[in-house]
Chain A
């Protein structure tokens, strides 16, 4: 297993279009997270899955955002009716269950979204 994979690496879209990103976590990890990072800032939490259950969503995640993790494997993040303010790096991360160093997040390389 080579780590967390995200696709695409870059996405350019026009305002108002819908976009979908995919994340493939490390296979034995049952926790999956989506974060958003803008230039010069730390990652901001968007949502978290434990297996297929979406256990938490940030207030940052407006109703235009939806995430799924069918069968507890890969996850998709969809943004509908994109706005210029959605331009950011979208990071996916996964981790094992448990505490201590087990809970460290392994991040993918991210999807850089640019909304024109």
Chain B
């Protein structure tokens, strides 16, 4: 069964430093999508970055980049130059199923709580 694993319940990082949040996934599909979401204490889920399984280059969005290692089934999020506003829960998610199939849902990991210290 498809599964997302985030092994870091919580992390600290100093402001302006880079931080890597780990995510591994398990799927038998050849086509899948990987997502990272941020959930601040206010509760809304904010999309950060997307990586398709056939994308050859790692995705980047501003200070966010996704370190995609397909053979190891890992999709780690790298946040460069951390800011105080980056303090939040971070969820890794995977879209399972093939295009045109009946399912397009995302499954989520348990999240990593990131605290940025001044």
A91 interface residue (CB < 8 Å to B): yes
Which residues of chain B (63-113) have a CB below 8 Å from chain A? 91, 93, 95, 99, 102-111
CB of A19 closer than 8 Å to a CB of B: no
Say yes or no for A99: interface residue by CB 8 A criterion.
yes
A-B contact count (CB 8 A): 60
Q: Is the CB of A56 within 8 A of B103?
A: yes
A11 CA / B32 CA spacing, docked (Å)? 36
Q: Number of residues in A with C-beta < 8 Å to the partner?
A: 27
**Bound complex: CA A100 to CA B104 (Å):** 12
Chain A, range 60-116, C-beta contacts under 8 Å to B: 89, 91, 93, 95, 99-101, 103-110
Residues of A within 8 A of B104 (CB): 31, 48, 50, 95, 103
Residue of A whose beta carbon sits closest to that of B50: A101
Minimal beta-carbon separation of B60 from chain A (angstroms): 13
How many Å lie between the Cα of A45 and that of B107 in the bound state?
A: 7
With A41-B111, A43-B91 as known contacts, state yes or no: A107 contacts B44, CB within 8 Å.
Answer: yes
Chain A residue contacts of B91, Cβ below 8 A: 42-43
- Partner among A42, A50, A55, A93 whose Cβ is within 8 Å of the Cβ of B109: A42
User: Of the candidates A48, A93, A100, which one forms a contact with B52 in the assembled complex, judged by CB atoms under 8 Å apart?
Assistant: A100
Q: With a CB–CB cut-off of 8 A, which chain B residues contact A108?
A: 44
A43 touches B45 (CB 8 A): yes
CB pair A103–B108 under 8 Å, yes or no, is no
Q: When the two chains form their complex, are residues B99 and A99 in contact, meaning their CB atoms are under 8 A apart?
A: yes
Residue among B37, B45, B99 with the most chain A CB within 10 A? Answer: B45
Q: Are A107 and B105 in contact (CB under 8 A)?
A: no
Query: Is A21 in the interface zone, CB < 8 Å from B?
Result: no
* Residues from 34 to 59 in A contacting B, C-beta threshold 8 Å: 40-45, 48, 50, 55-56
A99 with B33, Cβ < 8 A, contacts A48-B103, A48-B105 known? yes
How many angstroms between the C-alpha atoms of A48 and B109 in the bound complex? Answer: 19
* Top 4 A-B pairs, shortest CB-CB distance: A42-B108, A107-B45, A45-B105, A104-B47
- Given pairs A40-B111, A99-B33, A108-B44, 10 additional interface contacts (CB within 8 A): A40-B110, A43-B91, A43-B108, A91-B45, A100-B52, A103-B33, A107-B37, A107-B45, A110-B43, A110-B44
